[in-house]
Chain A
Amino acid sequence: MLFTLVINTAPISLHNGQAHSALLFAKTLIAQKHSIHRLFFYGEGIQNLNAQALPPQGEADLCQQWQAFINAHQLDAVVCIAAAIRRGVFDTTEANRHQRSAALAEGVSLSGLGQLIEATTTSDRTITFG
């Protein structure tokens, strides 16, 4: 089955833990031979791919885990551009355009909400976290 995951919560929300649940769910999909059409990061969820965040020692580095997972399986990971820019998570192009520093993790791209709407049409299942 073809899945899309929408992630709306930040990794720092340790106590509701839904960003972490999303990662575990995505890994389980792959383990059970399902396919992932797209990971769409929206709202506070864009913080999952903020490579500038540095969790304290002993706490999980969710950004690094997402990045490793995305790269290992060559997944299409999209971070909503509007949500990312208002929270200061720029890719190199946007950082140059707005005279800011880049913070977006490698292997993912900034794009628009059209990618979310397209994903709901293409996927058999769309699951929201957060």
Chain B
Amino acid sequence: MSHELLFVFRHSPYGSSLGREGLEAALAAGAFDRDMAILFLDDAVWQLKSEQNTTNTQYKNHQKMTSALSMFGIDELYAEECSLNTRQLCADDLFLEVKVLDSAAIGALIRNAKTVLSF
């Protein structure tokens, strides 16, 4: 569980521009074939929620863009257990397969990464 580049997403998909822009940065890193992983923390776990519907908002839906992560070779996805629990989300609510980690494991993940980029 050691990666050259770890992206930490902390913002909700549509509540902050970093939701989308973090995703764009991760896809760019994927295109450069980096050894990387993404950690979904706090409100960013909403990025993983299935059935995102933005029809009644002005926002462009980026659930499909999130689904494209694996096409860019980004398969190492982690979510924090506590962030999911406090939002009453479980694996069935998510449209991507992620490894759920407790806070101790998150600490190790961050510690072992060569570089961490936070969005």
Contact = CB atoms under 8 A, between A and B. Distances in A.
A8 B28 contact: no
B45 interface: no
Contacts of A114: 28, 32
Contact of B18 (A8, A112, A123, A126): A8
Given A120-B5, A126-B115, A126-B117, A42 B21 contact: yes
Nearest to B17: A43
Contacts of B119: 8, 43, 128
A83 interface: yes
Nearest to B33: A117
Given A6-B117, A120-B115, A120-B117, A43 B32 contact: no
A82 interface: yes
A79 interface: no
Contact of B25 (A42, A44, A123): A42
Contact of B21 (A43, A112, A120): A43
B24 interface: yes
Interface string A106-126: 000000111011001101001
Contact of A83 (B21, B32, B34, B118): B21
B18 A43 contact: yes
Contacts of B18: 8, 43-44
Contacts of A121: 34
A115 B118 CA distance: 16
B29 interface: yes
Interface string B13-43: 0000110010011001100101000000000
B102 to A, nearest CB: 24
10 contacts: A8-B18, A42-B25, A43-B17, A117-B5, A117-B34, A120-B5, A120-B115, A121-B34, A123-B115, A128-B116
Closest 8 CB pairs of A and B: A113-B28, A128-B118, A120-B115, A43-B21, A117-B32, A117-B29, A126-B115, A43-B18
Interface of B: 5, 17-18, 21, 24-25, 28-29, 32, 34, 115-119
Given A126-B117, A128-B116, 8 more contacts: A8-B119, A42-B21, A42-B25, A114-B28, A114-B32, A120-B5, A121-B34, A126-B115
